[in-house]
Structure 1
């Protein structure tokens, strides 16, 4: 039986990041010899990973990954792409269910450009990847970017963008769910994305006073749960901020490294700067997030493109007054009104896409000829989109 390697390597990543590998593993384990590898930088033990994935897990170093030849490799971490030997067919499972308003004009192409295929559920994310990879490969060809040292493969290659239904959420809600009020509390989750991702001045960390004051001025009894990105807990600034916030009885710090779904379950709304977790929250709960993107920090081409994409689809506050209006307004919305916003977004991003079981199996078998390709980005950054723009084509 042919082998497929699934690699977990997200720095300090907990079960949230193992959840990206699980759908691929489930799709392939009855058809291929699936070998799961885990490095020592992740945030879960070998035992925890084995219990979660339901299969053996081997602990390896990065050198071991570099020794793999002529294999299919699937990973939840883009940064190892440059270490993978050129003889392998590599598949990166992109994080999140939507694009993010990042400062990086290349949209992380310094990592993603090494991969043969990128799997994602989001049309808007693929559009941002196409934009970023166009600028990245154009500048690489023109020698405006230096080559990465010690790399095992080229970053100027054909990269297939492969569409799939969201891999970490339940099936689409067919009707507005009933929200059971367990207490009089109203819980607001604060979900900043990783430090350095947002444009200067636009991160939740830099706007914490505005955000918290907006919440408490509108809903004085609100409880706040602060969940920084897991690797940011080691930063002195974040440690100090957590200590300051923890002094308030209505603030708690989520440092559990547990599944995001547990966090989503207890929140009534989530405020974030750029995290795709805001959308994941909505997809899991049918409750609404708020993206706080202050005016004056939208000059990045990626941020401008994201704002244009999400206009009318996601709740976006561009100043403190808009944030206050949304915080109070969301508390007053009916389940039907929330469902209308949820369904409009879902239909725009995911309609016509296919189940991970079908997509991953077909991708491993057919590689660059996968019928689920959204587009192919060539070695010069040009995007060729004439693949599954018509959802019915994928069924032929």
Structure 2
């Protein structure tokens, strides 16, 4: 059973503009409904009764005057007065008999009010025809000596305030809604610009000419974003400069050690010492590459398939079996050197544990994926997130040849996230591990 709150959340619009308009329109519609209900139950009902009573009083007065002055000349004078002063067209049919027709079963507010008023003021058998004529309503009253027929203009029974009220409600509502849409679009535009700027900065792209605008709260958020961006830039610059010094300081003693080993000549244990030095160099390069994060490279349009083929070519030249399939030509804003390093890490990790590797580039609706499959033993599902931690190796030894430094997947995910994407690990249909690198299209 779906909870009512979840059901309402599904029906509610997702966009800020739509939700803001819903907040404005909902009370407006409620006010309109309440106003309409009050109008039709009080004002319109009162107007209908008063119009019906006025008309019934005129008809009853005409009947009483005709009874008081029964001579033909006086009755004609009464009819002329009714036509000129009361807007009533009266015709008398001597000896006429009212048709025996029952009143309609369903009546509106005006019809019911007129029936009640005629029954109270006339106190004689009568019949009202609301359907035969478009502009007039015939009222037939049975008198003792004949049938009195009164033709009443419909405007005496209906008030134009009803239509004016409805048009006023609709017109003002549309006007207010239009003004609300214009103002809300301007407010939402500033929020969208801030979201776009944050997304571009999160992907490592430049955000030129971004300035705070909109409401005070949005301006505060935009100002905080600018301050955060400048701080991050300074931190990256300071880190890069620091790492350049660290790289120089670490490489200098290693170079000196290599020279000393070369000058020692052939002595016992020299090969082991050289291997240790080379291992230290590889470790230092790996640590520096991880800390540097390739953050200094600017994104430029590049063809992803060509980049994948270039990386695959390096492994083929080493004699590795690698199948590459690119579905279509895909051009994205990429840090080509950084992404090539991420792809090399993923493919190299697959070759480290598998004998054959398959690489596919797939275009989706809102993203592009590079899928790397291998036929190795894979990684248990409960440990797939752990392998992205720096320096963590599932392989127990510290031998770089068998397990690496433990930074390959970490660097690959860091580079992917720098592009606004992600790297996830799954079971491969080929029996090994699948690494899925997703980039926004």
**TM score, norm. by length of structure 2:** 0.21
Indicate the structure whose relative CO is greater, using CA pairs within 8 Å and at least 6 residues apart. 1
- Of structures 1 and 2, the larger Rg is shown by 2
Structure having the higher helix fraction is: 2
